[in-house]
Chain A
């Protein structure tokens, strides 16, 4: 199998606070993890690509100091939304890729609401 979990599934936070989202590959080692954001009725937007032990590669327009990514092991990547604002409210989804293949397996997503 290829199971990816995310925690929390849903979070509400106040403007100005930081939120950490965890992404874990449960039954395989993920050489690469990806972080996406999806607004209602819109397609997936890749935010960054993360390889274990190295700095994440951010897509154009994504602020690396606002969206901190740590990929500490082959089964865990975290995304921290710092100083969250209401416009950061979105559905954040991670995915993971096994070595040698290109298909990505998605976590269940985290719905962030910033009040």
Chain B
């Protein structure tokens, strides 16, 4: 079982709709969760991080964390064509391990 799993997509969403990206992780000791956006040919850019169960909102982005289900998601409201990218989920276990474990990413395409 992969440590961090994401559906590779592609996920196609009409412009203006809500895009929902999902991620599951296997290590119950994981404490910190991150979403990165990566445009083709570019490096990842941090969008959001979440540490506590529940929702965290930042503009059009909402991260949702459910530690009991080992599930973290990213919602993008009012999707724009510029949101088309690969979204990487990353997890840290915070117990002296500085590394992030990345999922393979979900490719999102916003259809005008």
Same complex: yes
New A-B pairs, 9, CB < 8 Å, besides A43-B105, A44-B44, A102-B100 = A34-B99, A43-B88, A43-B103, A46-B99, A49-B99, A102-B34, A102-B49, A103-B34, A104-B90
Residue of B nearest to A93 (CB): B43
Q: A102-B32, A102-B92, A103-B34 are in contact. Are A32 and B98 (CB under 8 A)?
A: yes
Size of the B side of the interface (Cβ < 8 Å), in residues, is 20
| Stretch from A13-21, A64-72, A82-90, A105-113 at the B interface | A105-113
Q: Would you call B46 an interface residue if the criterion is a C-beta within 8 Å of the partner chain's C-beta atoms?
A: yes
Q: Which B residues fall within an 8 A CB radius of A?
A: 32, 34, 36, 42-46, 49, 88, 90, 92, 94, 98-100, 102-105
Contacts of B42 in A (CB 8 A): 108-109
Contacts of B102 in A (CB 8 A): 43-44
Q: Mark A92-107, 1 if CB is under 8 A from B, else 0.
A: 0100010000111111
Contacts of B100 in A (CB 8 A): 102, 104
Residue of B nearest to A110 (CB): B43
Q: Mark A25-52, 1 if CB is under 8 A from B, else 0.
A: 0000000101000000011101001000
Residue of B nearest to A46 (CB): B99
Contacts of A103 in B (CB 8 A): 32, 34, 46, 49
Verify B98–A44 contact, CB threshold 8 A: no
Bound CA–CA A104/B97 (angstroms): 13
Bound CA–CA A109/B42 (angstroms): 7
Verify B98–A97 contact, CB threshold 8 A: yes
Bound CA–CA A46/B44 (angstroms): 13
Contacts of A107 in B (CB 8 A): 43
Bound CA–CA A105/B46 (angstroms): 7
Bound CA–CA A97/B102 (angstroms): 16
Verify A43–B99 contact, CB threshold 8 A: no
Residue of B nearest to A111 (CB): B41
Contacts of B46 in A (CB 8 A): 103-106
